[in-house]
A and B are shown apart, each in its own frame.
Chain A
Amino acid sequence: MRMSLTRSKRRTAPTDAIDTTESTTRAAAGSRPRRPLRGAALLLAAALAGSLALAACGDDDSSDEPAAATATTFPAGSTMAKLQAAGTITVGTKFDQPLFGLKNLRGEPEGFDVEIAKIITDALGIPADKVKFVETVSANREPFIEQHRVDLVVATYTINDKRKQVVDFAGPYYVAGQTLMVRAGETAITGKDTLAGKKVCSVSGSTPAERIRTEAPDAELTLFDVYSKCAEALKAGQVDAVTTDNAILLGLMNSDPGAFKLVGEPFSTEPYGIGLAKGDDQFRAFINDTLTAAYTDGRYEAAYKDTIGKVEPDMPTPPVVDRYTS
């Protein structure tokens, strides 16, 4: 891990412009990042020189670009223009997060994260079948972005300052929060203040497990290694509540319709953002613009209704995107 990180850091400057097809094949083969080929490096240099020349001419409209499928044109040399020209994009998402990013039986990922990613790739003029989804688990999201194995990460990715040191975030597009899930017939538990003496389940060593110790010190904590076991224990009456991010709880509810419900106000804030390469402010602004537009023109609502809305019909107000300056 450390090795590859340092290696990728050394290559930060040149990889900035590695064409996406290379990162796509690399991700597809699942191989470790190789040293850039000399040919690729030459191509890069040429591309960089070309884009510099264009920029120097002040030719921002790039009217001499080959006509893309859509009418939208992007500033020459920008990530958007490169992706549009390549006609393909690699997006990292989770494959095991029901309702957000889950690989279905046909082998295609589906969920809210996937829909959000499609809104963005669609705005880039890339057809849906040219969007390549690769699995990013929590631990490899930053390395994958840094190594340019993915162009975007939409994977229940909480924006925080530590991560902002190595990657940039567009969004947030959804705000999750730690909350409680109980059996559908439960009336005694209405929030974290009604947990005294109750058995609460979470995952051993997780952040929500530690938070509930301070939020509800009088609750009895039962810990498993995965949340699905908590749901099973809740159903069997072995525990009285399950606690973690509502995003995960909604996924558990979806896999067992009618058995559970969420109670109480969320007691943490997890703004989910879209991860991209550090310093690509142009691309970040584009994604933020796309999200903001999608909030009002119904695309966001449609994405919500098709996924999370099936379990939690009340759509929350879309969060205001954070156009921070790094």
Chain B
Amino acid sequence: MDAVLDNLDIFREGFIQTLRLSLFAAVAALILGTALAAMRVSPVPPLRWAGTAYVETVRNTPLTIVFFFVVFVLPQVDIVFSYFTFAVMALTIYHTALVCEAVRSGVNGVDAGQAEAARALGLTFSQTLRLVVLPQAFRNVVQPLGSVGSALIRNTSIAAAFGVQELTGISQRLTTANPGDVIAVLLAGIVCYLVLTLSLAWAVGLTERRLTRTPR
């Protein structure tokens, strides 16, 4: 237990790194994922094909491979950022595909009559999507997006193997330094992850209750 209490500042450092990774990647993936979903439901075939190709490629690639590609292949073509930025990029690339599929499932859940009515009113595709379909779609997918977010938080641990000292990285470091307190250190790490994921679950639940209370 002492190993944890004596190193609370190091733990806090790791916690903040994990939180930052999660936040940056979540915001970026939400924006890009929504755009990608729009591509996949758009009437322009090349856009649809590109969207499908991206989703199927990235979603079926292990995240570790995505990390490897970003961290070790990009520098070879002179794209060089800090390892933190690389980690955010890798997490974003991967979770954009997952967000896209969640949003697309929400769009499919919106009654076709809504889009037809919008078109009948003379709205363009982007207006239909922006003003009519997506707002309803998002209400359908609060929980699925929450799951993607929870997965994202846990997936940040892979960054430990790619130069970012976040929660998992500092847990490894503290277990080496305190071989007698391995269990306590790992438990503390788990608690930190739980704090993040359960807070997210709580926020998701709250959001969903609010949205469903809104009259149609």
Q: Report which A residues bind B (CB closer than 8 A).
A: 204-207, 209-210, 222-226, 229, 232-233, 236-238
Contact = CB atoms under 8 A, between A and B. Distances in A.
B173 to A, nearest CB: 5
Given A210-B173, A210-B176, A222-B83, A233 B76 contact: no
B75 A204 contact: no
Contacts of B80: 236-238
Given A222-B83, A232-B72, A237-B75, A204 B172 contact: yes
9 contacts: A204-B172, A204-B173, A205-B172, A205-B175, A207-B176, A223-B173, A229-B161, A237-B75, A238-B75
A229 B83 CA distance: 13
B19 interface: no
Nearest to A232: B72
Given A222-B163, A224-B163, A225-B161, A204 B72 contact: no
A204 B76 contact: no
A201 to B, nearest CB: 8
A205 B160 CA distance: 10
Nearest to A239: B163
B203 interface: no
B183 interface: no
Nearest to B74: A236
B165 interface: yes
A9 B83 CA distance: 47
Nearest to B80: A238
B65 interface: no
A233 B76 CA distance: 10
A158 to B, nearest CB: 15
Contact of B72 (A207, A226, A236): A236
B173 A205 contact: yes
Interface of B: 71-72, 75-76, 80, 83, 160-163, 165, 169, 172-173, 175-177
Nearest to B158: A225
Contacts of A224: 161-163
Contacts of A222: 83, 163
A205 B176 CA distance: 5
A233 B163 contact: yes
B180 to A, nearest CB: 13
Contacts of B177: 210
Contacts of B163: 222-224, 233, 238
Contacts of A207: 176
Lowest 3 CB-CB distances: which A-B pairs, in order?
A205-B172, A225-B161, A236-B75
B116 to A, nearest CB: 53
A205 B169 CA distance: 8
Contacts of B72: 229, 232-233, 236
A39 to B, nearest CB: 41
A209 B174 CA distance: 12
Contacts of B165: 204, 223
A223 B76 contact: no
A236 B86 CA distance: 14
Nearest to B172: A205
B90 to A, nearest CB: 14
A204 B83 contact: no
Given A204-B173, A233-B163, 10 more contacts: A204-B160, A204-B161, A206-B176, A222-B163, A223-B173, A224-B163, A232-B72, A233-B71, A236-B76, A238-B75
